[in-house]
Amino acid sequence: MKSIETQLQSAAVVIGLVLGLFILSVAGVSLAMNLQMSEVFVHLFQSTIGSAFGILSVLRRTTYLLIVSIGLAIAFRSGVWNVGGEGQIIWGGLMTAAICLTLNLPIPIIILLSIVASFLAGGLWGEIAGFLKARWNVNEIVSTMMLNFVATASMIEVAGGPLRDPTVLIAQTRAISTKLQFPAIAFPLNVTFVIAIALIPIVYLLMEKSVIGYKMRIVGGSSTVADAAGISTGRIVLLAMFLSGGICALAGSLLVFGNFYRADASITGLFGFYAIVSTLLGKSKPQLMLPTSMLLAFIITGAESLRTLGVPGTFTQAAVGMLFIIVVLQELATRRIK
Partner 1 sequence: MTPVFSLAAFGELLDQRSGVYNLGIEGIMSVGAAMSVVGAFIGLNSWGSLLLGTISAFPFGLLLGVLSERYKLNQLVVGFGLWLSGLGLAGSIYTVLLAPHRIIIQKLEPILFDLDPIFYLSIALVLFLMFFFSRTKLGLIITAVGQNPRVADSAGISVERVRIICVTIGSGLMGLAGAYLAIDILQGFTYGIVAGYGWIAFALVIFGRWKPTYVFLGSLLFVGITGIATRLQILGLATIPSNFVVVLPHVGVLVVLTLAMKFARDAGVPGSLGQPYVK
Q: Which residues bind partner 1 (CB under 8 A)?
A: 29, 32-33, 81, 83, 132, 136-139, 141-143, 145-147, 149-150, 152-154, 156-157, 160-161, 273, 276, 280, 312-325, 327-328, 331-332, 335
CB 281 within 8 A of CB 330: yes
CB 208 within 8 A of CB 104: no
Q: At what angle do helices 52-77 and 85-102 cross, to 10 degrees?
A: 110
Q: Which phi and psi angles does 139 have, rounded to 5°?
A: -55, 120
Secondary structure class of 179 (helix, strand, coil):
coil
Residue number with CB closer to partner 1 (149 or 214): 149
Of 77, 107, 105, 125, which is closest to residue 250 (Cα–Cα)? 125
**Spatial distance between the Cα atoms of 264 and 273, rounded to a whole number of angstroms:** 17
Burial 136-175 (b: 16+ CB within 10 A, else e): eeeebeebbbebbeebbebbbebbbeebbbeeeeebbbbb
Residue number with CB closer to partner 1 (5 or 136): 136
CB of 257 to partner 1, least distance (A): 25
CB of 319 to partner 1, least distance (A): 7
CB of 123 to partner 1, least distance (A): 18
CB of 112 to partner 1, least distance (A): 30
Residue number with CB closer to partner 1 (29 or 239): 29
Residue number with CB closer to partner 1 (212 or 318): 318
CB of 167 to partner 1, least distance (A): 21
Residue number with CB closer to partner 1 (154 or 181): 154
CB of 311 to partner 1, least distance (A): 8
Size of the chain in residues: 338
**Region of residue 310 (left: phi > 0; alpha: psi -120 to 50; beta: else):** left
Residue number with CB closer to partner 1 (298 or 315): 315
Of 248, 108, 229, which is closest to residue 180 (Cα–Cα)? 108
Residue number with CB closer to partner 1 (90 or 180): 90
Q: Which phi and psi angles does 184 have, rounded to 5°?
A: -80, 145
CB of 225 to partner 1, least distance (A): 16
Of 246, 247, 257, which is closest to residue 192 (Cα–Cα)? 257
**Spatial distance between the Cα atoms of 237 and 239, rounded to a whole number of angstroms:** 5
